[in-house]
């Protein structure tokens, strides 16, 4: 079996905007050495070669800062009139399944992905979306992950295409752009220019009426075939959270 990592590294990057900054403190072995001594174990009783243990503290990391999966709670407090699931309530059965890649690398920045785009791709590649699949939208924008303007560029899913996937029986989907929708600054600008209140966050807000989860900031989708693999995307079990970092991997026989 070959396992392909679809998750970005969790580390400090000075180019990340403030809302994506991750800060981790790495504690060397020698720090624990003195802690153990303070707890009462004399140095002469330390095992041979033992220098203490390494430790690390995540000092700052938002649940949406790195490769993550959003829970229905992120989109709205209710889904179709019922309380939305937080990330710890998302069934693990949703998080493992047959994968399919939808190649949308040809889409220009700020040009939303439509139902027709997806249908044309599936027809060209003789592929079928089946209930329970995990759908991965490849835009190629992961090459900008870690740059200052990552969140300002790229394509994204339309509300109609998102709803179409849900109606096909898809509970979990993901993208290698910063977000699932078109870039946030672009949506803000267009909503103000047009006065159209339906433009902002339209794909996310499908979750107000239809239950689903999506992943953002995936990487390495170019390493996958379009089909014939499994995907595992198990989030950290953060009680009450709107999302969680996840180690997303694809498995090929």
What length does the chain have? Answer: 253
Q: What is the pLDDT of residues 124-133, one digit of tens each?
A: 999 999 999 9
Q: Which element (helix H / strand E) includes 245?
A: strand 243-252
- Spans of all domains in the chain: 23-60, 68-252
**Between vectors from CA 110 to CA 141 and to CA 181, what angle results, nearest 5°?**
75
Identify the sign of the CA torsion 15, 75, 109, 67: positive
Could you report the per-residue pLDDT of 68-101, keeping only the tens digit for each? 999 999 999 999 999 999 999 999 999 999 999 9
Parallel, antiparallel or unpaired: strands 172-175 and 213-216: parallel
* 84 Cβ neighbours under 8 A, 6+ residues apart: 71, 72, 73, 75, 76, 77, 78, 207, 211
Token pair belonging to 33: 């050495």
Q: How far apart are CA 249 and CA 66, in angstroms?
A: 15
pLDDT of residue 150: 97
CATH annotation of 68-252: 3.50.30.50
Torsional class of 61: left (φ above 0), alpha (ψ -120 to 50), beta (otherwise):
beta
**pLDDT, tens digit, 9 for 90 and up, residues 148-201:** 999 999 999 999 999 999 999 999 999 999 999 999 999 999 999 999 999 999
User: For residue 242, what are its two tokens?
Assistant: 């709107």
Percent of the chain whose pLDDT exceeds 70: 100
Burial class (CB in 10 A: 0-12, 13-18, 19+), 92: exposed
CA–CA gap between residue 67 and residue 9 (Å, rounded): 8
- Summarised one tens digit per residue, pLDDT across range 30-54 is 998 888 989 898 989 999 999 899 9
pLDDT at 33: 87
Count of Cβ atoms closer than 10 Å to residue 12 Cβ: 12
């Amino acid at each position: 079996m070959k396992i392909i990592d679809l998750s970005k590294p969790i580390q400090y990057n000075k180019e990340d905007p403030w809302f994506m900054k991750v800060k981790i403190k790495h504690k060397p072995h020698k720090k624990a050495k003195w802690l153990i001594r303070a707890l009462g174990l004399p140095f002469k009783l330390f095992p041979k070669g033992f220098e203490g243990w390494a430790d690390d503290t995540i000092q700052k990391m938002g649940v949406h800062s790195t490769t993550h999966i959003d829970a229905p709670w992120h989109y709205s407090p209710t889904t179709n009139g019922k309380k939305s699931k937080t990330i710890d309530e998302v069934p693990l059965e949703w998080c493992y399944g047959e994968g399919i890649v939808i190649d949308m690398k040809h889409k220009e920045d700020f040009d939303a992905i439509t139902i027709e785009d997806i249908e044309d791709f599936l027809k060209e590649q003789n592929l079928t979306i089946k209930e329970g699949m995990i759908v991965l939208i490849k835009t190629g924008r992961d090459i900008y992950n870690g740059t200052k303007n990552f969140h300002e560029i790229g394509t994204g899913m339309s509300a109609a295409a998102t709803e179409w996937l849900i109606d096909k029986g898809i509970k979990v989907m993901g993208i290698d752009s910063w977000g699932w929708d078109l870039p946030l600054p672009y949506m803000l600008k267009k909503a103000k220019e047009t006065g159209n209140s339906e433009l902002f966050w339209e794909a996310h807000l499908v979750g107000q009426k239809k239950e689903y989860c999506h992943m953002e900031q995936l990487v390495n989708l170019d390493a996958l075939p379009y089909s014939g693999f499994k995907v595992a995307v198990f989030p950290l079990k953060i009680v009450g959270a709107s999302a969680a970092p996840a180690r997303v991997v694809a498995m090929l026989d």
